[in-house]
Chains A and B, each alone.
Chain A
Amino acid sequence: MYQWDFSILWSYRWLFWNGLLVTLGFTVAIVVLGLIVGLAAGLLRLARFAPIRWVAQAYVEVFRCTPILVQLVWFYYALPILAGIEMTATTAAVLALSLYGGAFYAEIVRGGIASIEAGQSEAALALGMTPGQAMRRIVLPQALKRMVPPLMNQSIIQLKNTSLVSVLAVPDLLYQGQAAAHDSYRPLEIYTLVAVLYFAVLFPLTLLVGRLERRLARAD
């Protein structure tokens, strides 16, 4: 019978704390960058000029249809050689995760905009707005409201995806956990704590999304 001993965790508290900060920092960075990329790609997928739509769609499909773990490894090992540039593990990880998230955000953005009735932009155009004004003033504000819950869900998945950066030796929560496990020979306690920490961050966020979804449903 295995003897659980959680008391050893205390001596690694700063390791976990630093790992957690790296994980949260990564999440903020890839969510912000991913949203920028995703909004741009989502809008481009609705462009009037067909080749622009194709480029945006190609981007989305490439990143949706390859595993994120493969992308991380490829960005760190293959891209620097291909492009003849040097890249730290952190840069490669931020790049891969942002572009991966951006592909999913782009589909949410495109779907959100497409869900707004054609009559809304017709009414805006009939007032004399340019297509850009109609998008900014009329369509996007309504679409964004519908996009918020799926965007937040995708961001929660992104937080979980950051655990994959540990394969590139980026010192996130999981990587620090692995270090502590090797050091203490107590992997069961360590990985239990790692799981609990991820849960402690993510569970309140999912509750928040659920509340937001219900509030938006009532407002409609």
Chain B
Amino acid sequence: MSTAPMIEVSALKKVFGDHTVLRSVDLKVAPGEVVALIGPSGSGKSTLLRCLNLLVVPDGGAVRVGGRSFRFGASASLPGAGELAKFRAATGMVFQQFNLFPHMSALANVMEGPVTVRRMARAQAETLARSLLAKVGLADKAEQYPSRLSGGQKQRVAIARALAMEPAVMLFDEATSALDPELVGEVLGVMQSLAAEGMTMVIVTHEIAFARDVADRVVFLRDGVIHEDGPARQVIDAPREEATRAFLSHFHRQRES
């Protein structure tokens, strides 16, 4: 690809205690590309995602998103709180458990980033927030508190909240795993339309069919190592690696039964 990658991760390493979660991971994501991270639980895919916005601080390697980059390791000094905040403001993250702010209405949740972090005037932030809530199909729920929303609605508010920072990249950490099956579709629908608009996205997911249809690339992780990285349909339909085949066989069996 001719343009510089939007996200570039090299030799990324993360250790929790004596357990190595990521061993020398390299990953590049082009602008507008949608990459799905799949793999068994404990494979390190969520940790890798959280290293992309430094919610988890790596122990080694380098992370670059857009124009900001950080090196990690024994010789590198850890970035300060202010630097980390600026870095994270450029990436949006959506969590498995939504993590909406329960003491704020849906509208206030979406306005929070622009007002507190971007110092946007309240009126302007409200216009932005209302348009984003409309975009995720929740214009009529603006005044509701999270406790009054369904799981699918909460997650769509959470997506609007992340988008309000107008991030260069969106990260999804098992965004549909905590949802009742009948609510998964509405969240995947919003993610699909974001992908179609050209948003750069990294998605940790167990929705293999969604990864196949919406992602450009699928990356298979196991034991902190990328085993396979290729075009979505090829990796899902005709995996080259035995590890990928073994993992995907669970899902194929599910689909057949």
Contact = CB atoms under 8 A, between A and B. Distances in A.
Contacts, number: 66
Range class of the B interface residue count: 20 to 34
Given A122-B55, A133-B116, A128 B88 contact: yes
Contacts of B102: 142
B209 interface: no
Contact of B85 (A120, A129, A138, A141): A129
Given A119-B97, A141-B103, A145-B103, A127 B82 contact: no
Range class of the A interface residue count: 20 to 34
Contacts of B103: 141-142, 145
Given A133-B117, A137-B112, A122 B86 contact: no
Contact of B95 (A119, A128, A142): A119
A202 B55 CA distance: 47
A86 B211 CA distance: 75
Contacts of A142: 101-103
B53 A126 contact: yes
Interface in A151-173: none
B193 interface: no
B218 interface: no
Given A122-B55, A137-B112, A127 B99 contact: no
Interface in A107-143: 117, 119-120, 122-133, 137-138, 141-142
Nearest to B91: A126
Interface string B51-84: 0010100000000000000000000000001101
Interface of A: 117, 119-120, 122-133, 137-138, 141-142, 145
The 10 closest A-B pairs by CB, nearest first: A128-B89, A123-B99, A119-B99, A126-B93, A127-B113, A128-B117, A130-B85, A128-B88, A128-B85, A130-B81
